[in-house]
């Protein structure tokens, strides 16, 4: 994935690619594509112990947002859902720091890695870009984890990255509407914190409406 500075006039600062490792290039479509699916409409989110606790609130907001789209899909998470190893488990989505390319803030790997059904996922967050409590790993870039939402104009939103990668983890691919959560890229000061109406409708179509 590469930096893209020409996607829209709104995003003239450097865009960071958000990727699902199942595709070398984004699958772009007007209708949000859901190329994978869970057999049952639920999964438990586990946070790796190496993730900064200051990012938990933003992770919870991203989880709650997907759960509030009117579908039968449910991400489960409690403060006790922490993981110490780096193994993907059936029925689980694990979020963990991971060394990624400098232009990739997050990456979702879905298992099994063939076919249309999935039973687990691993979300890697670029460990060189995590930003919390006034410090970060390197100067490659900053992922900000604010307690109550919002992001500085010169920082990248961890909440948006979590929302996007959790979207991959429930089955979405990429598409080209930059008002939507599953568009291919983010930028400094990105304020998106919700899926768009088309994504919410596709989620209800695939997993059923409540």
Res 106: pLDDT = 95
Residue 55 has what DSSP assignment? G
**How many residues comprise the chain?**
210
The pair of structure tokens assigned to 28 is 């772009």
| pLDDT, tens digit (0-9, with 9 covering 90-100), for 44-63 | 999 999 888 888 889 999 99
CATH number belonging to domain 9-205? 3.40.390.10
pLDDT per position as a tens digit, 127-156: 888 754 445 443 334 788 877 777 888 888
DSSP-derived letter for residue 145 is -
At 200, the pLDDT band (50, 70, 90 cuts) reads very high
Strand partners, 60: none
d(CA 37, CA 198): 17
Q: Which two tokens stand for residue 35?
A: 């190329």
* Confidence band, pLDDT 50/70/90 cuts, at residue 30: low
- Enter the DSSP assignment of 37: E
pLDDT at position 76, please?
Answer: 95
pLDDT (0 to 100) of residue 15: 54
Neighbours of 18 (CB within 10 A): 27
User: Residue 16's pLDDT is what?
Assistant: 60
């Amino acid at each position: 994935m590469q930096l893209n500075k020409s996607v829209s006039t709104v995003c003239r600062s450097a865009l960071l690619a958000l990727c699902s490792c199942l595709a070398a290039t984004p699958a772009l479509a007007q209708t949000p594509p859901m190329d994978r699916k869970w057999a049952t409409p639920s999964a438990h989110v586990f946070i790796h112990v190496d993730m900064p606790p200051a990012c938990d609130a933003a992770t919870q907001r991203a989880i709650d947002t997907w759960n509030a789209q009117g579908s039968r899909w449910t991400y489960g998470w409690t403060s006790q859902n922490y993981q110490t190893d780096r193994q993907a488990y059936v029925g689980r989505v694990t979020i963990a720091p991971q060394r990624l390319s400098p232009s990739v803030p997050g990456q979702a790997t879905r298992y099994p890695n063939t076919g249309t059904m999935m039973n687990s996922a691993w979300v890697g967050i670029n460990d060189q870009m995590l930003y919390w409590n006034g410090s970060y790993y390197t100067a490659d870039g900053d992922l900000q984890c604010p307690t109550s939402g919002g992001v500085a104009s010169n920082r990248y939103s961890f909440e948006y990255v979590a929302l996007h990668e959790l979207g991959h983890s429930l089955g979405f691919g990429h598409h080209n509407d930059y008002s939507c959560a599953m568009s291919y890229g983010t930028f400094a000061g990105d304020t998106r914190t919700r899926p768009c109406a088309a994504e919410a409708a596709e989620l209800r179509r695939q997993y059923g409406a409540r």
